[in-house]
């Protein structure tokens, strides 16, 4: 066991536990933690995060599929568009310097913090989707491409976009939308991760250490069977995301 295993395992453990309990992808925490404190280059952190997302999706989806919670027809159709976005973004990430990627990640953290803030009845994405007049199929496909792009570029699952689309645009009940999104993000993350792996932007030992931690960390949420919706905890998590966003912004500016 290498000396770097334990810190990376601990990062995965914390991200898996928080992500599972609060219903957000672990990638939002894993990428900043590995890049800011783990000392890994951003692209290596992104690829490690994508492997972690594969692992959490695989374990979660196996349960959801056995209980028939996944709308496989919607998932397979939208997954194609998400994979196109993830592969394109994964290829493009090899050409983009770290500075803009740090800043884009900070913007995503700010958006997610807004979604998590308890006083907001509905997040920005939900409000936009509710008022759009475009055809439902086009919106769903377009947003899936967007989810794939943020997944391949920033190493997150894309569930922040998938779940509202499946719930509000495709009309799935919320629990079913979450299960379907869990299944979809696995394939999207795998497509992106394989592009990074093929390019040589993956440190396998780091990715597997974080992956084992994430899998173990997700167990409490899986056993609990539901997410914690406590106002205080959501606010604390939103503040944590804001703090990380500020650090990512600072690092992004420094990288220019």
Partner 1 sequence: MRQHEERAGTSLVVMGALAVASVLAGMGLRRPDFVTAGATLMMAAPLAALAGVAFSALRARDRLAPYAIGALLVTAAGMLLAR
Contacting positions for partner 1 (CB under 8 A): 1, 5, 50-51, 54-55, 57-59, 61-62, 65-66, 68, 70, 72-73, 76-77, 79-80, 83-84, 87-88, 90-91, 94, 183, 186-187, 189-191, 193-199, 202, 204-205, 207-208, 211-212, 215
Least distance to partner 1, CB of residue 204, Å: 5
Q: Which is nearer to partner 1, 115 or 182 (CB)?
A: 182
Q: Which is nearer to partner 1, 147 or 238 (CB)?
A: 147
| Alpha-carbon distances of 190 from 91, 102, 161, rounded to whole Å | 14, 22, 18
Q: For residue 31, count other CB atoms closer than 10 A to its CB.
A: 32
The residue whose two tokens read 């919706």 is 229
Least distance to partner 1, CB of residue 133, Å: 26
Between helices 174-199 and 136-154, what is the axis angle to 10°? 40
Least distance to partner 1, CB of residue 202, Å: 8
Instruction: Give the span between the Cα atoms of 144 and 147, in whole angstroms.
Output: 5
Least distance to partner 1, CB of residue 213, Å: 12
Q: Which is nearer to partner 1, 161 or 209 (CB)?
A: 209
Q: Which is nearer to partner 1, 68 or 243 (CB)?
A: 68
3-class SS of residue 1: coil
Least distance to partner 1, CB of residue 176, Å: 13
| Residues 94-112: b if buried by 16+ CB within 10 A, e if exposed | eeeebeebbbbbbebbbbb
């Amino acid at each position: 066991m290498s000396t770097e295993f334990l810190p990376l395992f601990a990062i995965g453990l914390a991200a898996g536990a928080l992500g599972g309990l609060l219903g957000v992808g672990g990638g939002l925490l894993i990428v900043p933690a590995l890049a800011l404190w783990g000392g890994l280059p951003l692209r290596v952190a992104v690829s490690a995060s994508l492997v972690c997302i594969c692992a959490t999706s695989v374990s979660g989806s196996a349960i959801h599929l056995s209980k028939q919670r996944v709308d496989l027809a919607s998932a397979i159709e939208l997954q194609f568009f998400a994979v196109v976005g993830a592969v394109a973004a994964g290829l493009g990430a090899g050409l983009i310097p770290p500075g803009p990627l740090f800043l884009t990640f900070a913007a995503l953290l700010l958006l997610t913090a807004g979604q998590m803030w308890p006083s907001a009845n509905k997040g920005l994405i939900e409000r936009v989707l509710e008022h759009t007049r475009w055809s439902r199929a086009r919106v769903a496909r377009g947003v899936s491409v967007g989810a794939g792009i943020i997944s391949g570029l920033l190493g997150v699952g894309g569930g922040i976009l998938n779940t509202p689309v499946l719930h509000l645009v495709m009309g799935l009940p919320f629990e079913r939308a979450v299960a379907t999104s869990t299944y979809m993000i696995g394939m999207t993350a795998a497509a992106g991760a394989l592009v990074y792996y093929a390019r040589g932007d993956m440190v396998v030992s780091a990715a597997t250490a974080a992956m084992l931690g994430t899998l173990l960390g997700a167990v409490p949420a899986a056993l609990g069977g539901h997410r914690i919706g406590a106002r205080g905890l959501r606010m604390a998590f939103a503040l944590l995301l804001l703090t990380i966003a500020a650090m990512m912004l600072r690092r992004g500016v420094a990288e220019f």
